[in-house]
C-alpha cells in the first residue's frame, strides 16, 4: 500500500508530490484503513505539520495525550490528534454540551474565523463545560485547541472515499502492474508530461511498453 499516489495526483484540490507522500507512508507504516483516511486528511497545507507527531504517536515514540479524558473514544483512532471536522464537532458536544446542530454552527464559525462569532461561541462553550466542572481556563484551552484544528480540519467521509480509491489502485499497481499501467497510460494519453512519467515508472518496474 506504500505505492499509493505514486504519481502527482490531485486530491481535494491539492497536488500530491509523489516522493513526499511515499516518505510519509514509509514513516507511518499504515496497517489499517483508518490510518489511510487520516493520512489523506493530513497531507495538505496546514495539517502537514502534525504528520511527524501522528507517526511518532502511532509507533510509540511520543506519548498520546487527550485534551479531556472523555474525548478519548473519538480521538483514539488518530492518536489524540484532531484530524477531522467531525471530531471537532464531537468535542463541542462532549465538553461544551453543544447540540449536534450547534456543533456544526461552531465548526463553520471556526472555519470562517469571525471574531464576533468566536467570542459568542467561547461563552457558550465555557458555560457548557462548567456544567461538568471544567473551569474556565481549561475550557478556554480546549476551545483554542479546537479552533486551531477546525481551521483546516477535513471531512472524514470525504477523505474515506479518497483513501478507498488509493488503496484499490495501490493493490492493482502492486499485483497487476502491466494492466494498471496500461489503463493509466490510456487515461492520460493526451498529457505528454504524464505519459513520460508513466513510461519511466513502467520501465523501472520492468513492464515492457511497446511503441505506437
Instruction: Please tell me the pTM assigned to this model.
Output: 0.78
The CA distances from residue 210 to 196, 201, 203, 207, in Å, are 14, 14, 11, 10
37, 21 Cβ separation under 8 angstroms: no
List pLDDT tens digits, range 111-155. 887 788 889 999 999 999 999 999 999 999 999 989 888 777 888
φ, ψ of residue 193 to 5 degrees: the values are: -60, -40
* Per-residue confidence in pLDDT tens, the chain, 212 aa: 333 444 444 443 344 466 778 888 889 999 999 999 999 999 887 788 889 999 999 999 999 999 999 999 999 999 999 999 999 999 999 999 999 999 999 988 888 877 888 899 999 999 999 999 999 999 999 999 898 887 778 889 999 999 999 999 999 999 999 999 999 999 999 999 999 999 999 999 899 998 88
Amino acid at each position: 500500500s506504500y505505492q499509493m499516489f505514486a504519481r502527482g495526483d490531485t486530491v481535494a484540490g491539492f497536488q500530491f508530490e509523489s516522493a513526499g507522500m511515499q516518505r510519509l507512508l514509509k514513516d507511518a507504516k499504515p496497517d489499517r484503513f483508518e490510518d489511510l483516511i487520516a493520512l489523506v486528511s493530513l497531507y495538505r497545507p496546514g495539517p502537514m505539520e502534525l504528520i511527524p507527531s501522528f507517526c511518532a504517536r502511532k509507533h510509540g515514540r511520543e506519548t498520546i495525550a487527550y485534551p479531556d479524558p472523555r474525548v478519548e473514544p473519538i480521538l483514539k483512532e488518530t492518536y489524540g490528534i484532531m484530524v477531522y471536522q467531525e471530531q471537532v464537532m464531537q468535542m463541542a458536544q462532549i465538553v461544551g454540551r453543544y447540540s449536534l446542530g450547534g456543533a456544526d454552527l461552531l465548526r463553520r464559525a471556526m472555519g470562517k474565523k469571525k471574531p464576533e462569532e468566536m467570542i459568542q461561541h467561547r461563552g457558550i462553550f465555557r458555560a457548557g463545560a462548567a456544567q461538568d466542572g471544567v473551569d474556565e481556563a481549561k475550557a478556554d484551552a480546549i476551545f483554542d485547541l479546537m479552533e486551531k484544528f477546525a481551521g483546516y480540519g477535513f471531512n472524514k467521509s470525504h477523505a474515506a472515499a479518497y483513501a478507498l480509491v488509493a488503496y484499490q489502485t495501490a493493490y492493482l499497481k502492486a499485483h497487476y502492474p502491466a494492466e494498471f499501467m496500461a489503463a493509466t497510460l490510456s487515461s492520460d494519453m493526451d498529457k505528454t508530461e504524464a505519459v513520460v512519467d508513466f513510461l519511466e515508472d513502467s520501465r523501472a518496474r520492468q513492464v515492457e511498453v511497446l511503441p505506437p
